[in-house]
Amino acid sequence: MPADLPRLSRPLENRPRPGIVHLGLGAFFRAHGALYVEEAMRHSGGDWGIVGVSLVRPAQRDALAPQGFAYTAVELGPEGQSRRVVEIVRDVLVAREDPQAVLNAMSDASIRIVSLTVTEKGYCHEPSTGALNRSHPDIVNDLENPESPRSAPGFLVRALARRRQAGLRPFTVLCCDNLPDNGRMVRGVVLELAGLIDPALERWIAEEGAFPSTMVDRIVPATKEEDIERLASETGVLDLSPVMHEPFRQWVVEDDFVDGDRPDLEAVGVEIVKEVAPFEHMKLRCLNGTHSALAYLGYLAGHETIADTVADPVFAGFVRHLWAREIIPSLTPPEGVDLAAYAQALFDRYANPAIRHRTWQIAMDGSQKLPQRILGTISDNIEAGRPCDGLILAVAGWMRYVGGIDEKGAAIDVRDPLADRLRQLSESADGADAKVEALLSVREVFPAGLAADARFAGPLKEAYAALADEGARKCAAGVAG
């Protein structure tokens, strides 16, 4: 690390006042939503500065604070890169260190939006049903100690309670995570938790609050040490928390905000719509579903990144098969969208050699992602009599992956909330069929009806056995024909 270089630094004076608190200030939001908000203020004004919140670890705060919370966003295109310094973040708080500071920020009258990118697991819900997981340790804590929450839903509920007690309007809750009907899901979790604490609070949130659904899209690979070193060498300034992103971006937001109060997002390209579901289904199934399929099967086949995976003609044919035969037929496109052209654009994005999006990174938290990204499409296809052999192979790839051993016998560093349980289930079962049956018993992932459906379970056992015998690449080739 070039420690002798001056540190990136921007003064906090003359920054806009905060109007947004963002829970989960990771790379994705800083490379996506934060850029849109900063551009909207430049275009149309308003006080929409962002107070970021890290729910658990202080690393983001510690990296950004010496820089005046500024950071560099680096766009990586096939022909080169461009850079900009982003100054929309005003502060970063760490919830585990000082939950009251977070609640104070969220309860301030100047805050009109609380947005979130806490990943699927951060909502403490059951992915297969969307209901609150009341046995989750953080939810147990938040029910016993509502004044000192630990979970994202707990902070939302307690901050809304404070605003109600103070006679303030609620803030809009703006989920920016890749979840189907994410606004409705977060609303349900928040209302359920609020009702367990104070039914009157639940009614107030239901009547006065707003939870618009959104669809977000931009590939943001994890920042590596070599990225930081290369940026420092190019600029002569050390930034310890830059973000890397592709040129493409999309944000679709339902026009449902408390008192209509929001940045002028449509002025900078955000699609403000009445109904987000068609965009969301298109993206979750076409992009996120194939991303996960390529991640598990590509990793097992020895490919480090998505670009490496689709550079392999077998996996290029496999993902094109998924779109054409299994995913696009399950969708009703948004008005004016050509799904075949959308899929081709996705392939071009995947193949961008400047984006080193690791299959291992995308494979994280699969137990939370599979229901939304892949299982829903499989269910629809089974009921409609459409093929889904490629998607079933992807589920089998996930099952092989969470077993913790790759095709060469090396250990896999599985990162998943259920990792230990999944590996134990896999290891305790003898033979391919038994392993599949054991993993199908995990209700957080597989709904009982789908798990018991022979039209799914039978082909899944065959796919798992084929993966074990022949490997991911040969199996993918067989699907693509």
Question: Which residue do the tokens 């939370």 mark?
Answer: 368
Domains of the chain by start residue, with CATH: 18-273 (3.40.50.720), 277-480 (1.10.1040.10)
Q: What is the mean pLDDT of residues 193-211?
A: 98
- The per-residue pLDDT for range 384-439, each reduced to its tens digit, is 999 999 999 999 999 999 999 999 999 999 999 999 999 999 999 999 999 999 99
How does residue 480 score in pLDDT terms, banded at 50, 70 and 90? Answer: confident
- The per-residue pLDDT for range 14-49, each reduced to its tens digit, is 889 999 999 999 999 999 999 999 999 999 999 999
Q: What pLDDT does 4 receive?
A: 84
- The per-residue pLDDT for range 124-168, each reduced to its tens digit, is 998 878 899 999 999 999 999 999 999 999 999 999 999 999 999
pTM of the model: 0.88
Residue 89: strand, helix, or coil:
strand
8 Å CB contact between 233 and 197: no
Q: What is the mean pLDDT of residues 248-253?
A: 97
- The per-residue pLDDT for range 206-241, each reduced to its tens digit, is 999 999 999 999 999 999 999 999 999 999 999 999
The full length of the chain comes to: 481
Residue 3 reports pLDDT greater than 80: no
Residue 2 reports pLDDT greater than 70: no
8 Å CB contact between 44 and 264: yes
Count Cβ atoms below 10 Å from residue 394 Cβ, excluding itself: 30
Residue 291: strand, helix, or coil:
helix
Residue 250 reports pLDDT greater than 90: yes
- In whole numbers, what is the pLDDT of the chain averaged over residues? 96
8 Å CB contact between 243 and 30: yes
Q: What pLDDT does 1 receive?
A: 57
Q: What pLDDT does 128 receive?
A: 78
Q: At what angle do helices 137-144 and 152-165 cross, to 10 degrees?
A: 20
8 Å CB contact between 212 and 174: yes
8 Å CB contact between 17 and 55: no
Going by the DSSP 8-state scheme, the letter that residue 65 receives in this structure is: G
Torsion of CA 104, 109, 110, 112, to 10 degrees: 100
Question: Which amino acid appears at position 126 of this protein?
Answer: E
Q: What pLDDT does 341 receive?
A: 97
Closest among 48, 17, 417 to 263, alpha carbons compared:
48
- The per-residue pLDDT for range 325-350, each reduced to its tens digit, is 999 999 999 988 999 999 999 999 99
Closest among 436, 418, 423, 404 to 120, alpha carbons compared:
418
